[in-house]
Amino acid sequence: MARKHDHGHDHSSCRGCCGPLDRRDFMTTVGLSALAAPGLFATTASALAGDDTAAKAKAKPRVRAVFLHPKTDRYWMGWPGACYDIKARDAEFTKIMSDAAEKLGVDLEVEAEPLVDLSAVDKLLAECRQSPPDGLIAVVGALHPEYWPHADAIASAWGTRGRTPTIVFSPMGTSFTSHLQATRTARKCFTAATQDHGWLATGMRMLRTIWDMKTTRLCIISGTKTFDKRLDVIGTTLHYVPLNRWTDELAKQEVTDEVRALANEFTKTAKNIVEPNQQDILNAAKNYFVAKRIMEAENCQGISLNCLGLVGDRKIPCPPCMAWQRLNDEGSVGCCECDWNAAISLRLCSLLTGRPGFMQDPAPNTVNGTLMGAHCSSPKKLRGFDQPAEPCILRSHSESEIGVAPQVIWPIGEPVTVINFDGSGRLILGTGEVVANIDTPPCGGCRTSVELKMDDVDDPRDCKGFHQLFILGKHDRLFRAYCQLAGIEVVPIA
């Protein structure tokens, strides 16, 4: 039965063999030591945080910025007009870019003088070819006299500019429709024509994301061999390690004060606890520290494991559903089933939107014409890493009824973006709206189960991809802009 989820719903009718666990009983069981040291886990989480602070301090992307306009103090007639303060706008744009670069960890080089003619543009392109920056921003500052040939030359010079991702920024008053035609299909170039001067910070984030994707390492725990595979287009490295690495590390993991503190946090922040008992929740917390230890040892920013065989063969007592939730809510990657398309989708979502995505199994609803999606692990920081979490109920893993899996209640009526890499150079993209949360039982499937009304999709069976991400909010234009800048093909979901 699919319906809108009542946050006060009583799950007593769907208890597993363990029954619900009273929080007070759990606090007593895990011990007061975890409660007596509130800073213990915070310190550990900071040291192991998924934001790669130490790595970013060692290496940064380099971005160049230039201005395209005549060297004059004031315009006369024509756009952007005599009221347009050239020096003030250049100073404003420089500050926006500089502030964003400092926040994001980017080395920004701003050209002191505007490029006033095509010879100056040629010089810039030669420098980029000789020493390619990781990004280039060209700010158009004049429509009269004509300065768009300069922007067009930069945008069209794919090989000449050292294949550098390039943003042409055109603030209101510097372009008409005709001026924006030549750059619209330029390779690895996005033209941002807008009245929103603050968009330059978004552009800086896009360039930083391209660099981060290129330098990302994702640990894939599968098979029997250790090797690396570098993906085309985005440059992400898949670092494979043997499957027994997980079970070996898990066997070493003891119930430490850190583990108790995290288990306590899982319990305190849960809206309800249905099937899991105290040992289940401790086992769930242990998985998180095993994942972080492997990631740190292998210098990776994310991890993926196919736990189904390990659970089915009873080699592990608890699948890593809660560990994956925690990792994704921190801005790292916790991905199921060794699906690297989903893993790079999660990484891109985190870097570009500042919020996690929900990897799910798609189940078309042919009665309602909707797309249902369910999986064992959903993030709860759906609105952003620094925003309040959505309600989360601690459940068992549905397919085995062991361990702990989160049931996250998604907000009804809010927009959702759906993405899925289909190979490293192709992104499936769509949008929709949350219409229901689905309970298990009475329904089957995984614990977090969400129903979407998709935009511009007549038949949900036409939706492309598998393990697509549901991302709260409407971000389709941001993903399209990023993909144009990064050289990734965008394909409609249906």
- Judged against a pLDDT cut of 70, whether residue 364 lies above it is answered with yes
d(CA 155, CA 249): 50
Same domain, 204 and 97: yes
Strand positions, DSSP E, 69-211:
107-110, 135-140, 166-171, 189-194
In a domain, 41, yes or no: no
Same domain, 246 and 330: yes
**Mean pLDDT for the chain overall:** 89
Say which residues have a Cβ less than 8 Å from residue 362's Cβ, sequence separation at least 6: 371, 372, 373, 463, 465, 466, 468
Per-residue DSSP letter, 386: T
Please give the C-alpha separations between residue 416 and each of 83, 262, 474, in angstroms, as whole numbers.
Answer: 41, 30, 6
d(CA 23, CA 339): 35
Handedness of CA 390, 50, 447, 466 (dihedral sign): positive
> Which structure tokens are listed for 398?
């549905």
In a domain, 145, yes or no: yes
Which pLDDT does position 58 carry in this prediction? Answer: 72
In a domain, 52, yes or no: no
Half-sphere exposure at residue 355, Cβ-oriented, CA atoms within 13 angstroms: 22
What is the number of domains present in the chain? Answer: 2
The three-class DSSP label of residue 289 is: helix
Mean pLDDT for the stretch of residues 237-263: 97
- Judged against a pLDDT cut of 60, whether residue 9 lies above it is answered with no
Same domain, 146 and 22: no
Burial class of residue 71 in the structure, from the number of CB atoms within 10 Å of its CB (0-12 exposed, 13-18 middle, 19+ buried)? exposed
Last residue of a domain, one of 213, 238, 257: 213
Identify the CATH number of the domain in which residue 100 sits. 3.40.50.9100
pLDDT digits (tens, 9 = 90+) for 441-484: 999 999 999 999 999 999 999 999 999 999 999 999 999 999 99
DSSP string over 95-134: HHHHHHHHHHT-EEEE-SS---SHHHHHHHHHHHHHS--S
Which pLDDT does position 117 carry in this prediction? Answer: 92
Which pLDDT does position 157 carry in this prediction? Answer: 87
Please give the C-alpha separations between residue 10 and each of 106, 272, 389, 436, in angstroms, as whole numbers.
Answer: 49, 9, 21, 17
Handedness of CA 326, 327, 328, 329 (dihedral sign): positive
The residue ranking higher by pLDDT, 157 or 266, is 266
Number of CB atoms found within 10 A of residue 235's CB: 15
Same domain, 242 and 205: no
In a domain, 44, yes or no: no
- Judged against a pLDDT cut of 60, whether residue 50 lies above it is answered with no
Mean pLDDT for the stretch of residues 160-183: 92
The proportion of the chain whose per-residue pLDDT surpasses 70, expressed as a percent, equals 88
pLDDT-based confidence at 63, cuts 50/70/90?
A: very high
- Judged against a pLDDT cut of 80, whether residue 124 lies above it is answered with yes
- Judged against a pLDDT cut of 90, whether residue 122 lies above it is answered with yes
Which pLDDT does position 158 carry in this prediction? Answer: 76
Same domain, 224 and 161: no
DSSP string over 447-486: SEEEEEEETT-S-GGG---SSPEEEES--HHHHHHHHHHH
The residue ranking higher by pLDDT, 133 or 40, is 133
Same domain, 361 and 261: yes
The residue ranking higher by pLDDT, 13 or 469, is 469
- Cis? peptide before 70, omega within 30° of 0: no
d(CA 76, CA 475): 39
- Judged against a pLDDT cut of 60, whether residue 39 lies above it is answered with no
Same domain, 24 and 93: no
In a domain, 54, yes or no: no
Which pLDDT does position 162 carry in this prediction? Answer: 72
- Judged against a pLDDT cut of 80, whether residue 144 lies above it is answered with no
Same domain, 17 and 140: no
pLDDT digits (tens, 9 = 90+) for 394-427: 999 999 999 999 999 999 999 999 999 999 999 9
pLDDT digits (tens, 9 = 90+) for 311-339: 989 999 999 999 999 999 999 999 999 99
- Judged against a pLDDT cut of 80, whether residue 7 lies above it is answered with no
Same domain, 81 and 144: yes
pLDDT digits (tens, 9 = 90+) for 257-304: 999 999 999 999 999 999 999 999 999 999 999 999 999 999 999 999
Number of CB atoms found within 10 A of residue 307's CB: 25
pLDDT digits (tens, 9 = 90+) for 69-94: 999 989 989 899 999 999 999 999 99
- Judged against a pLDDT cut of 70, whether residue 156 lies above it is answered with yes
Same domain, 7 and 96: no
Q: Are 170 and 180 in contact (CB under 8 A)?
A: yes
> Which structure tokens are listed for 223?
């098979």
Mean pLDDT for the stretch of residues 307-311: 90
Last residue of a domain, one of 213, 242, 269: 213
Which pLDDT does position 18 carry in this prediction? Answer: 35
> Which structure tokens are listed for 194?
């807008």
Identify the CATH number of the domain in which residue 417 sits. 3.20.14
The residue ranking higher by pLDDT, 87 or 58, is 87
In a domain, 51, yes or no: no
In a domain, 36, yes or no: no
In a domain, 55, yes or no: no
pLDDT-based confidence at 30, cuts 50/70/90?
A: very low
Which pLDDT does position 48 carry in this prediction? Answer: 38
Q: Are 468 and 409 in contact (CB under 8 A)?
A: no
Which pLDDT does position 145 carry in this prediction? Answer: 65
The dihedrals phi and psi of 115, each to the nearest 5 degrees, come to -85, 110
Same domain, 257 and 331: yes
DSSP string over 301-361: SEEEE--HHHHHTT-SSS-SHHHHHHHHHHTSEEEETT-HHHHHHHHHHHHHHSS--EE-E
- Tell me which residue range forms the domain holding 127: 60-213
The residue ranking higher by pLDDT, 118 or 24, is 118
Q: Are 440 and 14 in contact (CB under 8 A)?
A: yes
Same domain, 220 and 332: yes
d(CA 417, CA 350): 13
Which pLDDT does position 146 carry in this prediction? Answer: 73
Last residue of a domain, one of 168, 197, 213: 213
pLDDT digits (tens, 9 = 90+) for 345-362: 999 999 999 999 999 999
